[in-house]
Amino acid sequence: MSAVIRTRTIRRRKARGMQTVEAELCVLGAGISGISAALEAAKLGRNVVIVDGAPALGGQAIGAIIGTIIGLYTHGPEPYQITHGIADDLIRDLTAEGSILRLHHSTVVFQYDEMRLARWMERKVEEAGIKVLVGAVLTRVVFRNRRVRHIEFATRFGAVKVVADGFIDSSGDASLSYESGLRVREPNEPVYGTLNFLIENYNVAAVKSLQMKDVHEKLKSVGGDYGLVRHDGHLMHYPDKNFMLANIGHFQTPLDPLSMSSMVIEGRRQADGVMRFLKAEFPNIFRNAKIRTYGNPGIRQTRWIVSRRQLTLADIRKTTRPKDAAARCAWWVELHSTPELVHWERFKDGHVYYIPLSCMVPKEADNIVVAGRCVDADSHALSAIRVMGPCIAMGTAAAHALDMAGTGAVHKIDLKQFQKRLYDNLERTD
Ligand SMILES: Cc1cc2nc3c(=O)[nH]c(=O)nc-3n(C[C@H](O)[C@H](O)[C@H](O)COP(=O)(O)OP(=O)(O)OC[C@H]3O[C@@H](n4cnc5c(N)ncnc54)[C@H](O)[C@@H]3O)c2cc1C
């Protein structure tokens, strides 16, 4: 006989309580930039809470099956690493377990297994003693005298309030800054998103003969017959795993809740179209292929902050180091501004440019630092600095800036000291 489970009867109290979490630093958004910021802040001895609306950590790096980490190295035949911090631990640990692969094309690209990266993030956050609050969507920010005082979240199990000295907005959509009532930017023309997906059961031996230029030509000539709009993109076979990542669709990612929700269906419809296209046009490879997993809709650019200084395309074409440099970058301009094609601007080998701290701090706030794809840059510059390498570097810098600011203003930190702390990400060339 099984054990008896005893039960009780309750009724919800009239006034719902709100649980309070106190920390020195609150990170809103647990994508790659938020994870980097939280781990760095914990390493600095700070009491950290990381919050995300999704039910698990990882943001797009995991949920949208991004598949490769780019932007960690310079371009050219002899690239060097420009971002360290969590990138070093992540590459070391996942390489040891065979879950990440280092490829050298025009730069170094790391192809990763998203489930192993997810577990790595969870393990590291747990080991660092970081409080985790997932499934928690921001509902209210109390902002007074240039400071966020606390933020409130709705969860399935009740409301939670987070009180902290400093806040990192790594929400991708500048949610914290927007809900604080600060000025933010939105694009007038769409920057397209993509729903990545994994394909299995294709002819692994024959896939070596697949040339992306042939796929692109076919997409251009007959893609429309399969309901496809995009003429470029990539298919990436994972050696040893026998599955392939597809990044081929393009759809708009508006900030309206219902329109955004319909993108899940639109993205999957496009993925199914890609599958029909591949089976019909490249049957020797894809005749029996199937979609193994659909990612969440991948969002490139939605809403971002108004900072003290917007980073521009002209800035990233130069190699001049600003006096408040916070991160180094090398990735090219990769603007998804038309349905058909990505606009690329390639820099010469060895080109390095910088993200200044001033483009990561909202002009009107003293205790918010932004990291990731919602820092202040024009659309061209943002399309280059939003990839995961720079996101990791911005997370590191955000943690140091707020650690130095303490209960003061982040705008007033000692920049020399700040850059000394970021030596690995600003100076190392080994
Ligand atoms: C299709 C696609 C392909 C890409 N390919 C590559 C690639 O190959 N290599 C590469 O390096 N980069 C690539 N990128 C870019 C890169 O993946 C992203 O820019 C990067 O992951 C962004 O990280 P993030 O931490 O800034 O934001 P995100 O990963 O978007 O994380 C933001 C988090 O904040 C949470 N959040 C937002 N608002 C709220 C709220 N109101 N309340 C609670 N939580 C909230 C979200 O749930 C989310 O988890 C690609 C992007 C896309 C879309």
Pocket probe for ligand 1: among 303, 387, 394, the residue whose CB has the most ligand atoms within 8 Å is 387
User: Is residue 261 in some structural domain?
Assistant: yes
Q: Is the CB of 107 under 6 A from ligand 1?
A: no
Per the structure, the complete domain to which residue 211 belongs is given by: 197-294
Alpha carbon of 66 to ligand 1 centroid (Å): 9
User: Is residue 108 in some structural domain?
Assistant: no
What SS3 state is found at 136? coil
Average pLDDT over residues 155-165: 97
pLDDT in tens, 317-364: 999 999 999 999 999 999 999 999 999 999 999 999 999 999 999 999
Nearest to 171 by CA among 137, 148, 140: 137
Segments in 128-256 forming alpha helices (H): 175-179, 212-222
User: Is residue 364 in some structural domain?
Assistant: yes
> Is the pLDDT assigned to residue 2 strictly greater than 80?
no
Alpha carbon of 203 to ligand 1 centroid (Å): 31
Residue with CA nearest ligand 1 atom 13 = 387
Q: Is the dihedral of CA 360, 406, 48, 19 positive or negative?
A: negative
Report percent pLDDT > 90 for the chain: 97
> Is the pLDDT assigned to residue 65 strictly greater than 90?
yes
31 with 134, same domain: the answer is yes
Residue with CA nearest ligand 1 atom 16 = 387
Q: Is the CB of 37 under 6 A from ligand 1?
A: no
320 with 410, same domain: the answer is yes
Q: From the alpha carbon of 61, which atom of ligand 1 is closest? A: 21
User: Is residue 133 in some structural domain?
Assistant: yes
Residue with CA nearest ligand 1 atom 2 = 298
Instruction: Tell me the pairing of strands 343-345 and 333-335.
Output: antiparallel
CA distances from 137 to 125, 146, 154, 207 (A): 20, 23, 5, 42
CA distances from 348 to 34, 74, 169, 332 (A): 30, 10, 32, 9
Residue with CA nearest ligand 1 atom 38 = 171
User: Is residue 100 in some structural domain?
Assistant: no
313 with 178, same domain: the answer is yes
181 with 310, same domain: the answer is yes
- Domain count for the chain, please give it: 2
Q: From the alpha carbon of 395, which atom of ligand 1 is closest? A: 25
pLDDT at 254: 92
- Domain CATH code at residue 141: 3.50.50.60
pLDDT at 14: 77
Alpha carbon of 11 to ligand 1 centroid (Å): 39
Domain boundary among 241, 270, 294: 294
Q: Is the CB of 193 under 6 A from ligand 1?
A: yes
pLDDT in tens, 24-55: 999 999 999 999 999 999 999 999 999 999 99
Output DSSP code: residue 206: G
Average pLDDT over residues 43-68: 98
385 with 353, same domain: the answer is yes
Alpha carbon of 329 to ligand 1 centroid (Å): 17
User: Is residue 105 in some structural domain?
Assistant: no
> Is the pLDDT assigned to residue 1 strictly greater than 70?
no
315 with 177, same domain: the answer is yes
Output DSSP code: residue 284: H
pLDDT in tens, 86-138: 999 999 999 999 999 999 989 999 999 999 999 999 999 999 999 999 999 99
Alpha carbon of 386 to ligand 1 centroid (Å): 9
Instruction: Tell me the pairing of strands 108-112 and 68-69.
Output: antiparallel
Domain boundary among 271, 294, 317: 294
Average pLDDT over residues 66-79: 97
289 with 331, same domain: the answer is no
pLDDT at 20: 98
pLDDT at 241: 82
143 with 274, same domain: the answer is no
Q: What is the C-alpha to C-alpha distance for residues 175 and 28, in angstroms, rounded to an integer?
A: 8
203 with 223, same domain: the answer is yes
Alpha carbon of 34 to ligand 1 centroid (Å): 10
401 with 354, same domain: the answer is yes
Domain boundary among 294, 314, 343: 294
Q: Is the CB of 336 under 6 A from ligand 1?
A: no
**In residues, how long is the chain?**
430
pLDDT at 139: 98
User: Is residue 65 in some structural domain?
Assistant: no
User: Is residue 69 in some structural domain?
Assistant: no
261 with 125, same domain: the answer is no
Measured from the Cβ of residue 251, the count of other Cβ atoms closer than 10 Å reads 21
Mean per-residue pLDDT over the chain, rounded: 97
179 with 275, same domain: the answer is no
Residue 37, strand partner residues: none
Q: What is the C-alpha to C-alpha distance for residues 310 and 150, in angstroms, rounded to an integer?
A: 27
Pocket probe for ligand 1: among 27, 36, 60, 355, the residue whose CB has the most ligand atoms within 8 Å is 60
Alpha carbon of 33 to ligand 1 centroid (Å): 8
Report percent pLDDT > 70 for the chain: 100
Residue with CA nearest ligand 1 atom 8 = 68
pLDDT at 12: 83
